[in-house]
Structure 1
Amino acid sequence: MRRLLICLMALAAALSATLPAFGHEMSMAEMQLRETRHGEFLWQWGAGEKRPIAQDLTPVWPQACAAEATMLRCGEAGLAGTLSVRGVGERYSAAVVRVFWLDGQTRVYTLTKAQPSVQLYGAADDPRGMGEIASAYTLLGVEHILGGIDHLLFVVGLLFLVGFNRQLVLTITAFTAAHSLTLASSALGWLTLRAAPVEATIALSIVLVAGEALHQRNTAARRWPALVAFLFGLVHGLGFAGALQEIGLPENHLLVALLTFNVGVEIGQLMTVGACWCLWRLASRWPAARRMRTALLYMIGSIAAYWSWLRITAVLA
């Protein structure tokens, strides 16, 4: 067992060196179109992290539009028709298209692998249906939580702390209620905090939960795990809101987009809990597998401690 623990600690150290400090960032690409006069737009991709976005994504303009370098000409009909992006869902999980219209209005469209195209109507009016927006933002919520390693490690830590019993339902519900509250408050502009302290607190929450799950002492976290989940869930919700701010919210059906993004997050969270329950049922058949519990918690705690150090350094820098 000791040798296994040492090996897993070494593996955690290796993973910490390769995992990003900000474990839940989405790979977002952003395009801006700015109308200079009726039917003519300046367009460009934002800066890619390692290489130009144009190497991975290719816009397919409406049929009446013609692109020349950074100029898009659509004629009298304006920017009307189907806009799609080839390659979305591969290197980039989503492409955000921001259109700045001549009258000063702005519209944001989010394209994903499941919904790689959007219908434009030549003006700032955005008559997209509620179902179209709900589908896109639900998928984005699922992608975000499943790609958010730090959020998932916190949920797994709660499972180790509480176990699969009735108390787990209350604990997960408290976490859900808390991050839903701060996600909505931040997305609607009612609450704003700097990203760096939020990220550092998220990492520290994983360290705390992993540490509490390692021992059997009757601490406050063991007596009231739902309270711990609620308090840290408030911070995790701010992390979700940061991703949602990068994506943008449509001005029409804003509440639908916000709600369905949160629903997507919950779907991904329940998928994680379900997968862990299946693994737990399988492991319960082999007594030797129970020895892995301590090693896994040390692994989770080590990765989170590394993130904490990096993120606290970013706060102080």
Structure 2
Amino acid sequence: MIFLFGLTFNSCFAHEVRPAYLQIDQISDSNEYSVLWKVPRTVDKVLNIQPKFENGFDLNETISPRILDAFVLYTYKLTGSKNLTNTLLTINNLNTTGIDVLVDVRLLNEVHHTFLLQPTKSSVIIPETPSKWTVAKVYIILGIEHIILGFDHLLFVLALLIITVGFKKLLKTITAFTIAHSITLSFSVLGIANLPGPPVEAVIALSIVFLAIEILKLQQGKSTFTSQKPWLVAFIFGLLHGFGFAGAIQDIGLPQNEIPLALATFNIGVELGQIIFVVIILIFIKFVKPQIPQQTWINKLVPYAIGSVSAFWLIERITGF
């Protein structure tokens, strides 16, 4: 466990980097397009990446760049001597970064394309016919990346794994967490229910603090509500975590004509990432933990590490209201 917590501490002070987002909307039959370009930023840095189109297309800024939360927004008008179909789109300098770019292309003939460009694949030829499989693949990847880079969600799952004894109970607990966050993620994206992001993020951090305290009580030989019914605790807090996932997917954006498919595959991606994490932890527990000296101070290091990281997040998020 010590190694994993080392990774957690190294990562806990960095916020998750969202994908960049490029939206291209055709506005006339004469090959004119409005372009929205959202680039992730940190406190003092904006990534130096730009969309590049084939020769014959001119990209001109129409609104001055503006800051919106963790992004810088650029607005352009794109004009071309031909249609975008079968032309090459490239994101310059993407191979020097560690982020993805979600591309959304909407044409007047109601054709809608969704692509995910990455540092290893920074260009795409815009096809004539959209593919549902392309949309599914994009949002599965985004779901996996979100959970793997969502250190607070992973820390919550890790705490549940420590508390829950027995494979059957563990399976029930993880299933309850999955069902819960899938419900609120769907409700939020579909506009059925919603909660403001900052308080949700703060309560997510508080939920991890709660589990850290529950682990300490369990180590002291005390029976806790979480150890008796971890599935119920996972379900209750999973509802809040779902609103957290919803904030991320709203930042990313959804293809308007494929919302059910994108939402379902994003959920699948989140679960695949979660399963990968759980399997890694279970392998660690089985093969590595027996080699670690089972001293009291070492055992207490785990919940104190979880509690310290999540308490820092809690304070940081409350002060950010």
Please classify the TM superposition score into its range, dividing by the shorter chain length.
0.7 to 0.9
- 1:172-211 C-alpha deviation (Å, 9 max, x unpaired): 0000000011111111111121001110110001101111
Structure 1's unaligned 5+ residue stretches are none
Question: Which residue in 2 is equivalent to 1:65?
Answer: 57
Question: Which residue in 2 is equivalent to 1:295?
Answer: 301
Question: Which residue in 2 is equivalent to 1:156?
Answer: 158
CA contact (8 A) 1:12 1:303 kept: no
Among 182, 195, 198, the alignment partner of 1:196 is 198
Among 141, 155, 177, the alignment partner of 1:175 is 177
TM-score (norm 2): 0.79
Deviation of 1:92 (Å): 5.0
Question: Which residue in 2 is equivalent to 1:213?
Answer: 215
Q: Percent of aligned positions with the same letter in both sequences?
A: 35
Question: Which residue in 2 is equivalent to 1:279?
Answer: 284
Within-5 A mapping of 1:29-108: 29-33=20-24, 37=28, 38-41=30-33, 43=35, 45-46=37-38, 48-49=40-41, 50-53=44-47, 55=48, 57-62=49-54, 64-67=56-59, 71-75=77-81, 77-81=82-86, 82-88=88-94, 91-97=97-103
Question: Which residue in 1 is equivalent to 2:13?
Answer: 19
Equivalent pairs counted in the alignment come to: 296
Among 19, 25, 49, the alignment partner of 1:28 is 19
| 2:311 equivalent to 1:310 | no
- 1:135-175 C-alpha deviation (Å, 9 max, x unpaired): 11101100000000000000000011113532111000000
Letter in 2 for 1:132: T
Within-5 A mapping of 1:178-257: 178-216=180-218, 217-257=222-262
Question: Which residue in 1 is equivalent to 2:71?
Answer: none
After superposition, the Cα gap between the structure-2 partners of 1:206 and 1:267, relative to the gap in structure 1 and judged at 3 Å, is same
57-66 vs 171-180, which moves further? 57-66
CA contact (8 A) 1:179 1:233 kept: yes
- Secondary structure of 1:201's counterpart equals helix
Structure 2's unaligned 5+ residue stretches are 62-75
CA contact (8 A) 1:111 1:118 kept: no
Equivalents in 2 of 1:261, 1:32: separation in Å?
A: 19
Letter in 2 for 1:294: K
Equivalents in 2 of 1:138, 1:89: separation in Å?
A: 21
CA contact (8 A) 1:62 1:80 kept: no
- 1:40-60 C-alpha deviation (Å, 9 max, x unpaired): 33546335424343x2x2424
TM-score (norm 1): 0.80
